[in-house]
Structure formats: structure tokens, C-alpha cells
């Protein structure tokens, strides 16, 4: 049972434009959400996170938005750069439990 | 740099031949995890250790075992690999179990091929 879903397997964006990656979840107990970035031949690396008590968290070019009523979160990258081309995984957890991951979205930023 | 190291990066084994994958960490984290990831799928948690306390996911096959002899090392043993066990195996660590601001740090993974 996939509790975290990323319905877009891939996304292409022009350099300088905004990239929006989406994630949906089904478990209302989740209280912490994370985005990971993965380059080929490397493990996922933590990018940004958000607690369920917030609806927005910003770190430089990366912003995560959380809509609890819709059980939806999104990652915005502005402006997108070619080095952002990678697979992005959404993950969620609740206190004391495991992290649940989505299937990933492959982002390609076109120069 | 503190990190999570996995050896080997690529492992080829024969059907039914036991194989051991290794993970070490210099982060001194309490929790170590093993995930299995198949192509285009989400990483699937197999088990995790909180210190020496072992936690097996309910749907992890008995064919998979794990050992954590000390804080730094964790091993994944596949007793009789089948063709369906071919996957990327990711090791991860975290300071504590999920609570608040507590992310995981991943190794580069071991790509297992079963012939």
C-alpha cells in the first residue's frame, strides 16, 4: 500500500524557470515531510523538510509547501538550474515510525 | 567528512548463493536502515536497528537477515538470493527514530545482480 505517491515520473523545465514537483499522501498521521535529491550512482541526499505545523518552508531556491487538508505537498525550485537535474523523492513519517517514500520524479532542467 | 559507506558498490551472485552487503557510518547515529529499491519503485524498508534493537518489517522475507555488531557497522545477509532479489540496496542512518527535524543520511547503494 503506497502511502506516499508521486504521480509524475518525469518533468522537464527550461533553465531559469520554476520547477514544481508534487507529492500526495494518504496517512493523516504523518507529521514530518522531506524531499531528497538523488543523482545517478549516488544515494539520496536530504534537500528540505517541513513539519506538519507549518505550511511553508524555504531554503534558498527551494520551497516546500504543505496542504494538510488536501494531503498534498510540493517542492518549488526557482530558478531552476541544470545542476538540479536529478530524481527527487518525497518522504513522510510520523513520530517513532519509519520513513515512507514516493517513487520519485526525474527532473530535467534544459539549458 | 562524516558519511555512510556501502561495500561493494556492485555485487554479482548466483541464484541461491548467499551474499552479504556491508554498510558503515562515521556519523555515530543511533539508527541504521536497510532499504531495497527496484527500478521505478519507492525504496522499501526491510528493517532497521535502533542501537542494538532490531526491527523487522512485517513483509520482509525470511531470506533477508541483518546484523549490527557495533554502532558503526550493519550487514545485510541474503541467504538464498532469487532473481527477484536483484535490486539496489540502500543503507541509511539517522540520529534518532522519526521525530521532528530528523532526516536520514544515505549511502550510495549496492547494486545486486543475481544470475
Residue contact A103–B92, C-beta within 8 A: no
pLDDT number for residue B1:
67
| pLDDT at residue number B100 | 67
Q: Which residues contact A23 (CB under 8 A, 6 or more apart)?
A: A4, A5, A6, A33, A72, A73, A74, A75, A90, A102
Given a contact cutoff of 8 angstroms between Cβ atoms, the answer to whether A10 and A106 are in contact is: yes
The answer to whether A89 contacts B43, with C-beta atoms less than 8 Å apart, is: yes
* Cα B87 to Cα B27: distance, rounded to the nearest angstrom: 26
Q: Which residues of chain A from 76 to 95 reach within 8 Å of chain B, CB to CB?
A: 89, 93-95
From residue A8, how far is each of A5, A49, A71, A74, B28 by CA, in Å?
A: 9, 20, 16, 12, 36
Determine the distance in angstroms separating the CA of A35 from the nearest CA of chain B, rounded to an integer: 10
* Cis upstream peptide for A52 (omega within 30°): no
- Distance to chain B for A28, nearest Cα, Å: 16
Chain A residue closest in CA terms to B49: A98
Place of cell 543511533: B30
User: Residue A41: in which H helix or E strand, if any?
Assistant: none
pLDDT band at A7 (very low <50, low <70, confident <90, very high): very high
In chain B, residues with a C-beta closer than 8 Å to the C-beta of A97 are 97-98
Q: DSSP string spanning A63-92?
A: EEEEETTTTEEEEEESS--GGG-EEEEEEE
Contact by Cβ (8 Å): A63, A55:
no
Q: Which three cell numbers stand for residue A9?
A: 515520473
Per residue in B37-80, pLDDT tens?
A: 998 899 999 999 999 988 888 889 999 999 999 999 999 999 99
Q: What is the pLDDT of residue A17?
A: 97
pLDDT bracket for residue A2 (50, 70, 90):
confident
- B106 contact residues in A (CB cutoff 8 A): 36, 43-45
Task: Average the pLDDT over B94-104 and give the result.
Answer: 81
E-strand spans in chain B? Answer: 4-7, 10-13, 19-25, 31-37, 44-50, 53-56, 64-67, 73-78, 87-94, 105-106, 110-114
Q: Is the torsion defined by CA of A47, B109, A42, B70 positive or negative? A: positive
Write out pLDDT tens, residues B12-22.
Answer: 999 999 999 99
In this structure, are strands B10-13 and B110-114 parallel, antiparallel, or unpaired? parallel
Do A43 and B106 count as a contact with CB atoms less than 8 A apart? yes
Does any CB of chain A come closer than 8 Å to the CB of residue B45?
yes
Amino acid at each position: 500500500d503506497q502511502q506516499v505517491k508521486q504521480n509524475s515520473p518525469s518533468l522537464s523545465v527550461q533553465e531559469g524557470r520554476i520547477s514544481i514537483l508534487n507529492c500526495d499522501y494518504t496517512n493523516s498521521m504523518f507529521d514530518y515531510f522531506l524531499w531528497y535529491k538523488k543523482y545517478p550512482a549516488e544515494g539520496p541526499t536530504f534537500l528540505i523538510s517541513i513539519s506538519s505545523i507549518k505550511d511553508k518552508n524555504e531554503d534558498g531556491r527551494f520551497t516546500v509547501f504543505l496542504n494538510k487538508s488536501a494531503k498534498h505537498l510540493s517542492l518549488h525550485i526557482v530558478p531552476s538550474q541544470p545542476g538540479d537535474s536529478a530524481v527527487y523523492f518525497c518522504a513522510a513519517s510520523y513520530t517513532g515510525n519509519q520513513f515512507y517514500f514516493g517513487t520519485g520524479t526525474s527532473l530535467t532542467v534544459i539549458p | 567528512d562524516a558519511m555512510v559507506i556501502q561495500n561493494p558498490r556492485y555485487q554479482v551472485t548466483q541464484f541461491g548463493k548467499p551474499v552479504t552487503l556491508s554498510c558503515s557510518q562515521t556519523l555515530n547515529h543511533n539508527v541504521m536502515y536497510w532499504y531495497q529499491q527496484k527500478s521505478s519503485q519507492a525504496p522499501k524498508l526491510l528493517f532497521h536497528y535502533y542501537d542494538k534493537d532490531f526491527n523487522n518489517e512485517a513483509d520482509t522475507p525470511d531470506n533477508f537477515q541483518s546484523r549490527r555488531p557495533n554502532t558503526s557497522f550493519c550487514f545485510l545477509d541474503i541467504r538464498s538470493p532469487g532473481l527477484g532479489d536483484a535490486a539496489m540496496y540502500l543503507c541509511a542512518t539517522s540520529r534518532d527514530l522519526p521525530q521532528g527535524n530528523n532526516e536520514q543520511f544515505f549511502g550510495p547503494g549496492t547494486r545486486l545482480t543475481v544470475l
